[in-house]
Amino acid sequence: MNRRRRVDRRRGFTLIEILVALVITVLGLSAIAAMFVANANGTSYARHATEASVLAEDQLELMLTTPSANLVSGYDQVDEYGVAVASGGFSRVWNVTWDGDLARISVRVTWTEGDSIREMVFRTLRSR
């Protein structure tokens, strides 16, 4: 009789135990997949923000080296390399306002990421 009880105890896992283990495994894998998606989104934003920073700094450098008589506000649409494109990519808008001999220059770079519009603004001052 004791031997029969030992055999009964070694039958294996119950269906409920297997289902609980599967649910826990699926929840863990879902969390890992969500981390991968969040990481991909963060990496994409970081890349675009870096590209926007470079584009804004390029425009600011151009504005700082342009003769003061030729400083005007403007805009353009460029790709990540600064090459003009008809649509998509990054939009750059630069404004120049004069306060006596001091020019206030701002460059705003915007881009679309997913369903939202992102932007970065850089500002500097320049004398005549």
What's the whole-number mean pLDDT along residues 59-78?
A: 93
Q: What is the 3-state secondary structure (H, E, C) of the chain?
A: CHHHHHHHHCCCCCHHHHHHHHHHHHHHHHHHHHHHHHHHHHHHHHHHHHHHHHHHHHHHHHHHHCCHHHCCCEEEEECCCCCECCCCCEEEEEEEEEECCEEEEEEEEEEEECCEEEEEEEEEEEEC
So what's the pLDDT on residue 110? 96
For residue 7, pLDDT beyond 70: no
Specify the higher pLDDT residue, 86 or 3: 86
So what's the pLDDT on residue 114? 83
pLDDT tens-digit series, residues 50-64:
999 999 999 999 999
What's the whole-number mean pLDDT along residues 56-74?
A: 93
Report domain extents, the chain.
2-127
Beta-bridge partners for 103: 98, 126
So what's the pLDDT on residue 6? 56
% of the chain exceeding 90 in pLDDT: 73
What's the mean pLDDT when you consider all of the chain?
90
pLDDT tens-digit series, residues 103-123:
999 999 999 988 899 999 999
